[in-house]
Amino acid sequence: MAVSPSSAGVSVPMGDSKLRRGHSKAYPRDHLGFVAKMQFYFRKHSGAVLATVCFFAFCLLVSSDFIHDTAPGLRAHQSGEINFAGAIKKGYFSTAGSIVKENVFRFAAITDLDQLSKFEDGDKIKFKSHLLPGTLTRDPSDGTYSIEMEETREIVTGHNEAGRGAEFSELQVFNNRLLTFDDRTGEVFEIRNNADGKSSYLVPRFVVTEGEGDTDKGMKWEWATVKDNELIIGSMGKEYTRPDGTIVNKNNLWVSVLDNRGSLTRMDWSSQYEFVRHHLGADSPGYLIHEAIRWSEHLHKWVFAPRRISDQKYDDEKDEKMGSNKVVLVNEGFTSAETVHVKMASNDGLHGFSSFAFVPGTNDKHVLALRSVEEDCAGDDLDICKQRSYFVVFDLTTGDVLMDEVEIEKKMKFEGVEFVDLNTIPPTN
């Protein structure tokens, strides 16, 4: 019969055998003997042990946040800024830098020329867009605005998808970088300046595919905004449909989110788009086409300025005349909305919002917006296709127009605007 161990006993009878106290799991082993053995082992193999410790310490350092946040060439901090998409050189554009003085602001706009962006450069096919710098001035006596436009500058790329490229649909400053978005290739480009600040060039940063991402088709970018220090990029918010109205796919209802390191995630925005669509009475087979959406940090609302609104099924030719003069302000949770009618002198159905930017210093109440026209462009005959764009300034909260539509002399379709000084000179380091 087994006897319970006693603190005074040296051995415990267990049938015909004896279990020594040092071998019992109820008592610790002789740790002094173990330490002596380890000391002997370390003396004999000190070189190998040291090499192993150093190796694991190096691996830990390389995998740590510290090295990723400090080493040039990695996703890192440089001069206190986090590099974006692996870029070594930091960005240097800012909305704050667009303020010349009180009531005077620098802005830039960018074109989407569709098929007209394509041109031959010797034996190579390339694609171009135009940047339009300018100045917006507010009259403090009555709160109205005037605009001055300068000469455009050309930016060129060879990047394309199926012979289409440089069809840029938005401008957005993020992480001190001026970004633009190709609605054909799905690419996100950074616009950088040459040393004098008088000319610019394109640097591709990302290629993003449609919908959930499991396709080789580039996302059709149309708008971009910054919310909670993240860049949110979206498409037109309409299903891709056949001529009879049946749905082919819903890829354009997804948005992509880039954080300040350039890490990308995707979100299904079907319910958000559907909420605004229902609010404006455009339920299926009706539709909205979005090219101008931004988050307002000051108003704490989403601002939707639809390009087109229709309560009928989509038709290429009729769609050109479905231009909108309405803006929808939506709360963060997409549970309430209000419609603002912009009181422009003309409500020409060819005109629709293609982009807007909040005027600095107005708490996001005043916006500079682009309204664009595509007339007789539904077919493939580029000779009859007419494009043009207009600037307008209005109060988001009342719809009052503070500068009525001013046509851009260049007969081009501009689809992106941002408050930024395009003549910014890059830092030398």
Q: How far is CA 279 from CA 229, 282, 329, 394, in A?
A: 28, 8, 11, 22
**76 vs 83, 229, 258, 426, CA distance in Å?**
6, 17, 16, 20
Beta-bridge partner residues of 301: 296, 331
Beta strands in 228-292, from DSSP E residues, in sequence order: 230-234, 240-241, 247-249, 254-258, 264-268, 287-289
Joined together, the tokens standing for residue 376 give 């007789």
Task: Report which residue type is found at 325.
Answer: N
291 annotated ligand binder: yes
200 is in an annotated binding site: no
The beta strands (E) that lie in 175-286 are given as: 177-182, 187-193, 200-207, 223-227, 230-234, 240-241, 247-249, 254-258, 264-268
Q: Check whether 374 is labelled as a binding-site residue.
A: no
* Contacts (Cβ under 8 Å, ≥6 apart) of 211: 219, 249, 250, 251, 252, 253, 254
331 vs 292: CA distance, rounded Å: 17
169 is known to lie in a ligand binding site: yes
In a 3-state reduction of DSSP, which class is residue 139? Answer: coil
Q: Peptide bond preceding 427: is omega within 30 degrees of 0, i.e. cis?
A: no
Longest C-alpha distance within the chain, in Å?
109
Nearest CA to 299 among 351, 239, 227, 381? 227
Could you give the CA distance from residue 355 to residue 349 in angstroms, rounded to a whole number?
17
Is 407 among the annotated ligand-binding positions?
no
- Which residues are registered as beta bridge partners of 331? 301
Q: Would the annotation count 170 as a binding residue?
A: yes
Q: Which residues are annotated as a binding site?
A: 169-170, 222, 291, 354, 415
Q: Which residues are annotated as a binding site for Ca(2+)?
A: 169-170, 222, 291, 354, 415
